[in-house]
Structures are given as structure tokens and as C-alpha cells.
Amino acid sequence: MNSPHLHKGSRQPAASRGKLRLYSNRFCPYSQRVILVLDAKKIAYDVVNINLYSKPEWYYDKSPFGKVPALELENGDVLYESLIIVDYLDEKYRAHHLHSQDPLQKAKDRLLIEQFNRVSVVNAMYKILSSIGRVNLDEDEAVANGLASFERELANRGTHFYGGNKPGMLDLMIWPWCERSEILKLFGNANLLKKDKYKRLLEWSRRMAEEPSVKRSMMDSDTHIKYLQSYRAGRPDYDMILNSTD
């Protein structure tokens, strides 16, 4: 994962034999979803990072829309869209199931993932963090309402994680945005994340951050903030972690 992001004009890497290959971007939460599942299930894989502002010409042969993540299988087939990829991985690699084995519970969890994606948190957070200037209070409200519903869901389940005693698919699919939630205090409403309002979510977040498979891809808030500043300036610095160690 500690490799530069390939850009327009970059040569296509040689085929990876005997391993899955994930085409990713270090700061993409959708790519992080797939990495979390790969790491949780202890699946061997290689990463090729893609510069999303200057994509290699050959990458469109891998992902027709030029998006990440994309997962290249051992036989050369390529899957894209994070939720499709993680469902494939959970069905293909059966050790340590992440989805519930109860069909009804699995369906309910998928509905919650869709709610998190489309109705509440993801869309609103993206608008807050990508906008420059005054924050739309409707977006603040959408995030707050979305987080409140997930706070209630944890209370109803009465477990440390949505998946029970260990993180399941729902936990991993919402984690990338929860990891980034602290930066809302700087770029959104400073009063949005009230500790007394989301006690269970904050404890869940603490437990998630202690999971070894989560730690592998986790970045601190300062790093996310520096990247976001570069993104807002129109010069996203995908390789800032590498550059800082030169």
C-alpha cells in the first residue's frame, strides 16, 4: 500500500501471479472498504494505487468508468464497485464470514448500509467536506440524524459491534466515514459530534480503532485534514505520506 499513485503516462504493472490485485487510492473511503474486508479475512493481495486526477490510460481497461476500487482476480477478471467486491469476497472466501448467515439479518444490514450511503451520512459528509465556504445546515442535520439512527441501532442490538462480538460487514462498510468524522469539527459544524449524544457510537469507534485489521489502513485526523486541504485547493496530494518520509 506504500507505493506512489500511478498517473497518466505510467506503465501498467506486470501481472500479479497467485494474488488478488486491488486498484485503489490511499484516501478513497470506498477503496478502504475493500481493504478492510481483505484484511479482516486475511486474504493475500497486492495494491496498485491510482491517481484519480490523472489516471493512467490503461486503467480504463480495468475499470470502464475509471473509478476505484477495482479488484483483479487471479484469472484476469475484474470486479468494481465496493459493495459488489466485498460481497464477492465474503462468498468466495468463506473463512470468517462477515455477513450474517441469517438471510433476514443480512438483508437488514444491507438496508442499513444503503441508508448510510444514500440517505444520511455519506452524501451529507461529502457535501460538507468538499464544499468551500459556508456549510449548508441541512447537511449538518442529515449527518446528525443519520448518526442518531445508528446510535439507536447499537442500543437495540446490545452488542459492542453491529456484527456482535466482532466487527461484521456493516461495521466495516461504515467505518471509513466514521474514521473521518473528527474532521467535521474543522470543516463542518463544530457542535455536530456531541459526546453525550453518541456515547455508544464513540465507544464503538474506539473499539473499531483497536482492531488489528482496522489499524492496517487507518490514518489519523491530521493526515485526513492535510489531504482534504490539498483536495480543496485543487491539488490533491495522494502521496503526502510518502513525501513526508523522504
Q: What is the CATH number of the domain that holds 24?
A: 3.40.30.10
Same domain, 192 and 135: yes
> Are residues 118 and 157 located together in one domain of the fold?
yes
> 12 lies in a domain?
no
Same domain, 177 and 89: no
Whether 229 is in a domain gets the answer: no
Residues 6+ positions from 68 with CB-CB distance below 8 Å: 23, 24, 25, 28, 30, 31, 50, 52
Statement to judge: residues 72 and 152 lie in one domain:
no
Nearest to 29 by CA among 117, 138, 115: 117
Query: Could you tell me if 48 and 23 are in contact, meaning their C-beta atoms sit under 8 angstroms apart?
Result: yes
Q: Domain check: are 44 and 78 in the same one? A: yes
Instruction: Confirm whether 211 is domain-assigned.
Output: yes
Domain contains 14: no
pLDDT, tens digit only, all 246 positions of the chain: 678 999 999 999 998 778 899 999 999 999 999 999 999 999 999 999 999 999 999 999 999 999 999 999 999 999 999 999 999 999 999 988 999 999 999 999 999 999 988 766 787 777 777 775 555 556 667 777 888 899 999 999 999 999 999 999 999 999 999 999 888 777 655 556 666 788 999 999 999 999 999 999 999 999 999 999 899 888 999 999 887 654
Q: Quick check: helix, strand or coil at residue 209?
A: helix
Q: Does 120 lie in the same domain as 48?
A: no
164 and 240 belong to one structural domain: no
| Total domains in the fold of the chain | 2
For residue 187, how many other CB atoms are within 10 A of its CB?
A: 18
Q: What is the pLDDT of residue 184?
A: 76
178 is catalytic: no
What is the extent of the structural domain holding 68? 20-96+235-244
pLDDT at 129: 74
Q: Is 129 a member of any domain?
A: yes
Residues 6, 22, 28, 170: which is the catalytic one? 28
**Domain assignment present for 5:** no
pLDDT the model gives residue 132: 55
Instruction: Let me know if residue 230 belongs to a domain.
Output: no
Q: Is the same domain home to 119 and 35?
A: no
Say if 121 falls within a structural domain: yes
